[in-house]
Amino acid sequence: MALGMKSVDIGKSASAAKLVFEAVRKAIIEGELREGEPLRQDELARLFNTSRIPVREALTILEQQGLVKTERFKGSVVAGHSLEEASEIFDFRALLETEVIRQAVPNMTPETLETARAVIERFSSASDPMMYGDLNREFHETLYRASGLTYHMGLIVNSLDRIDRYLRAQLVISEGTKRATREHLDILAACERGNAELASQITAEHILGAKQSLVRHIQAVTKG
């Protein structure tokens, strides 16, 4: 198991479990830890110079978020998702996020809209594929936060965590970033006009279009 980082001494930190959680979560989302890879508590404890207790706590939270699963005789391993499950999560996002942005539009301030536009500019000019997923998420969350629906936001973050690897793949195939940039600009324009229904409609098309692009790509690779 390699997290791509140096050993860190967090043994005396009151938030050791949180630090382990964040480090492992990041490694899973960014693909440093791949599906099925074992997450051995003793190795993680040595890596972070802490006891197994915060490691166990971190793995429990990761399992609750669907990023880790427990297998018989193996213990904790990095979880994977079938194409069918990923498709279901995309559909769930389309239902949830369209309602959140509908509620958010009336509360958006000029500062919110300016921040979202700046994120689009960073997204369109990014040269590192690893940045695409982060900036895509930052754009949507910038707009959604105006809704004030904190529970809904938690569900969205959890859903994005579960399919982050798929999202990153979708953005780098078939000029996905160019399409995403155009669609982000369309969503932002609807928000700037205060048209909540249009923003909701375009958001649904954006999410479902990304799903369809990903499904076509994976099916083509499988047949090839």
Task: Look at the alpha carbons of 206, 32, 29, 69 in this order and tell me if their dihedral is positive or negative.
Answer: positive
Do 119 and 196 have their domain in common?
yes
Structural domain contains residue 176: yes
Whether 108 and 214 share a structural domain: yes
- Calpha distance 204→152 (Å, rounded): 16
The answer on 138 and 125 residing in a single domain is: yes
- Give me the domain span that covers residue 69: 16-78
Relative to beta strand 75-78, strand 68-71 is: antiparallel
Find the range with the poorest average confidence among 31-35, 69-73, 122-126.
31-35
Q: Is position 11 within any domain?
A: no
The verdict on residue 5 lying in a domain is: no
pLDDT, tens digit (0-9, with 9 covering 90-100), for 170-197: 777 656 788 899 999 999 999 999 999 9
Helix H or strand E encompassing 71:
strand 68-71
> Cα–Cα–Cα angle for 81, 143, 64, nearest 5°?
30
Domain tally for the chain?
A: 2
pLDDT, tens digit (0-9, with 9 covering 90-100), for 18-69: 999 989 988 887 778 888 899 999 999 999 999 999 999 999 999 887 789 9
Cβ count near 123 (within 10 Å): 20
Whether 103 and 214 share a structural domain? yes
- Residues 69 and 127 placed together within one structural domain of the fold: no
Per residue in 88-106, pLDDT tens?
999 999 999 999 999 999 9
Helix (H) or strand (E) holding 14: none
Average pLDDT score over residue span 67-95: 88
For residue 3, give the 3-state DSSP assignment: coil
Position 42 in a domain: yes
Verify that 24 and 98 share a domain, yes or no: no
pTM of the model: 0.75
N- to C-terminal Cα distance for the chain? Answer: 31
- The pLDDT score that the predictor gives to residue 111 is 98
Same domain, 140 and 218: yes
In this structure, the answer to whether residues 149 and 192 fall within a common structural domain is yes
Q: Is the pLDDT of residue 12 over 80?
A: no
Rounded-to-integer distance, Cα 113 and Cα 110, Å? 5
| Of 150, 156, 139, nearest in space to 94 by CA | 156
162 and 71 belong to one structural domain: no
Same domain? For 104 and 210 the reply is: yes
Is the pLDDT confidence value at 8 over 90? no
Q: Are residues 45 and 126 in the same domain?
A: no
**For range 211-217, the mean pLDDT:** 83
Domain finish residue from 58, 78, 98: 78
